[in-house]
Amino acid sequence: MAGHRNAPLTPEGRLRLCLRVDSGRPIAHVAAEAGISRRCLAKWYARWRAHGEDGLLDHSSRPATSPARTAEDIADLVEALRRQTKYGPARLAAELHRLRGVTVAPATVHRVLVRRGLNRLRDLDPPTGEQLREVIRYEHDRVGDMVHVDIKKLGRIPTGGGWRMHGMGTDSARASKRTGPGTGKVGYTYLHAAIDDYSRLAYTEALEDERAVTAAAFWHRAVAFFAAHEIAPIHRVLTDNGSCYRSRAWAAALATTRTKHKRTRPYTPRTNGKVERFKCATRRSVVSPVQPG
């Protein structure tokens, strides 16, 4: 067991002090030289005399019994609800009261979740609630070994601000929902992104749609961009299972660049985590900070 951060001595240091006392030196003098109290050294010396070097190891501060600990059946119910609903401690506490009539503080629910390794939602599989295996992080050995590709859909903001600025019932909000040319409908922008696994060099474009031909054309431009930065050829590309990445146009584009297509597991965006992280960083640094006025 590792000592606490303020411990003045390691087990080896305690042994040396005990040996000095055992040689006949006054215990108070030895304690003063080490900067600890006489009582502390007397405790270690007594343990050393009784148990040898094992007695100089740190003892756990955990109590021998915990009579106020949450009952196991309640803890089991907390675990089952957490896996099923993904609720946080406060809402789980409310569910316990509704289902069992038991009043449990949210802080207590949180301790149960920590004890059972369920306090972080990212450690649970979204569809099933099962515990995920330890995250295996990987990085390819060379540039061009793997490129991650994905699309981020962003709603456009009308001139003068959207409904968050003016309200849902305003003329500008209603106009943005109309269809047809000249109606004021603003629609979406699609950020197509490609990032090299090894170098983290990224290429992105804001395009009008996420159709197959658009994704295929983007891929050719991304390959040219990477080639201009001495990343060529590209051996593999990793995408999700979106319709544009299952199209003939996309397959033809990869055949032209001689790139092998790898797909993520369904409903598992973390498999393509590098480009997902890039999309989050782009949203925070470019999109989110934009404020009206």
Please compute the mean of the pLDDT values over residues 9-34 and round it to a whole number: 92
Secondary structure (3-state) at 153:
strand
C-alpha distances in angstroms, 145 versus 102, 127, 212, 236, 287?
55, 31, 24, 6, 30
pLDDT above 90 coverage of the chain, percent: 46
CB 206 within 8 A of CB 190: yes
pTM, two decimal places: 0.51
Answer yes or no: is pLDDT of 260 > 90: yes
Q: 37-95 pLDDT, tens per residue?
A: 999 999 999 999 999 988 888 777 777 766 778 888 999 999 999 888 888 999 999 99
Answer yes or no: is pLDDT of 182 > 60: no
Reduced DSSP (H G I as helix, E B as strand, rest coil) percent helix, strand, coil of the chain, to 5: 45, 10, 40
Amino acid in the structure at residue 53:
E
Q: 221-244 pLDDT, tens per residue?
A: 999 999 999 999 999 999 988 999
DSSP code per residue over 189-225: EEEEEEEETTT--EEEEEES---HHHHHHHHHHHHHH
Q: Which residue has the higher pLDDT, 265 or 169?
A: 265
C-alpha distances in angstroms, 265 versus 129, 135, 242, 268, 278?
16, 15, 12, 5, 19
CA distance 88 to 127: 17
Q: What is the pLDDT of residue 217?
A: 97
Backbone angles phi, psi at 154, to 5 degrees: -125, 130
Domain spanning 147-287, CATH architecture? 2-Layer Sandwich (3.30)
Q: Where are the domains of the chain?
A: 11-56, 72-123, 147-287
18 DSSP assignment:
H
